Structure 1
Amino acid sequence: MRREGAGFVPQILLVPAIAGLALLLLPLATLVARVEWTTLWADVTTPEAVAALLLSLGTGAAATLVCIVLGVPLALVIARAPARTAAVLRVVVTVPLVLPPMVGGVALLLLFGRSGWLGGVLADWGLRLPFTTPAVVIAQTFVALPFLVLAVEGALRTRGTGFEDTAAVLGAGRWTILRRVTLPLAGPGLVAGVVLCFARAIGEFGATALFAGNAPGVTQTMPLAIYTAFNGAGVSTGTAVALSLLLLVTAIGVLLLVRAWRPEVPR
């Protein structure tokens, strides 16, 4: 007798499904098993670890704010653009998601470096971005912005323009419609995008390493501190495992928060 809602998936497919689940869970379980619980607090409160944690949280929050300022208008433009224009813009926004982070770091360095298109202009003004804390924010923004844009754009496109048209007929202006209709309707997508954006920002490694460097207290974020520890420098290996656990817990918390804002899909 078939259980209601079980579908018609062949049972033999349970074997590769379980293998895939094990491939995802076993490394994480091994990480948790390697944590020295007796020294966990000491590991995550070393000066190097605290500096990396505070830098990650601070730059991640700053990058998320930049993503909101830039990403919400971009999402609005894409959602309300003609179909072909929206498709092209969506592809452009998606590129950083599939681009290797190291390539993104090289691109940022070539743009903002001393001989780059914008780096030369900034140098004339006495400003230098590469290998500074603002460079961390820029690198994080580059890799995290697509998460917010795609989440908000998807929410806006799904809702359509019916309520906005009704508000316009009733005499509401563009800014009133944006503030009272459009953004509230896109609220769940906006919250999900912001949370995912922040999680991606604090977990960024490749672009940050190339564009911002790995200077403790200046550009060494948590992922860079973990990488440094496992290469025999900086914080201890125990601290690296503890920081990895902290990032894992953060990721799980992010997923739970996003799940809480996602409406149930009826079967």
Structure 2
Amino acid sequence: MKLNIVPARTGVAWVRTGLQTFAKRPLAFVSLFFFFMALVSIASQVPLIGTVFALMLLPTMTLGLMAASAESAKAENGQKPPAAAVFLAALNAARSGIRPMLVLGGLYAALFLLVMGVSALADGGQFAKVYLMGGTVSREMAESGDFQAALWIAMALYLPLSLAFWHAPALVHWHGVPPAKSLFFSFFACFKNLGAMFVFGVTWVGVFVVSGIVLSLVATLFAAVAGEGAVAAGGALMVGGALVMAAMFFTSTWFTFRDSFID
């Protein structure tokens, strides 16, 4: 396994290839994403330690969707892979190597909670409570300097954490890299390909913004035609659209890994 340095413009190719792969089996990818999100949601309901369980599942969810993308990418000349093969690839990846993935999940949960703990030093834990427990954000709270400071601290600390775990599940699964080492290799790979990763992120922001505008217009027109009773349907459309976009995003992450390492 060798690190591969790619030009910055590759970030756009990653997004484009991810969207093309998603388009081959959109229902399969959306269903997989919803399935993993349902598992995370169920885990979060466990009393006392539910949040920790939910956080531990996130690396496995990422791996499952990457494996589904890898399976779908095997189909050449625009052919559609069997939906069953996409599902099985994701589920097999999620259940194989359970021990190292549990270790990786534990590391993610511990480090994420550490980030929240550091942010709590700025506002007494208000931001952490809202983020982890779904508390209500009042206007006064949102405008508070301490709350905003906690938000920025959490974002600044989460960026390197995100880079450390970006390739880690794939390195553990496909290359047998120990969980702790996978964090170092992942961070180093992302840092060396920072230009491509930055373009990848900016391109996805653009896709999300444009999609959000389109969905908002569709929801507004729908409400105008169907009347006030369609407001709830318009809200559901926005939420559903956001979840589909998230599934598209995770589909594209496989290509950032594939092009960053050479066997």
TM-score, normalised on structure 2? 0.27
Relative contact order, CA 8 A, sep 6+: which one is greater? Answer: 2
Rg (Cα) greater in structure: 1
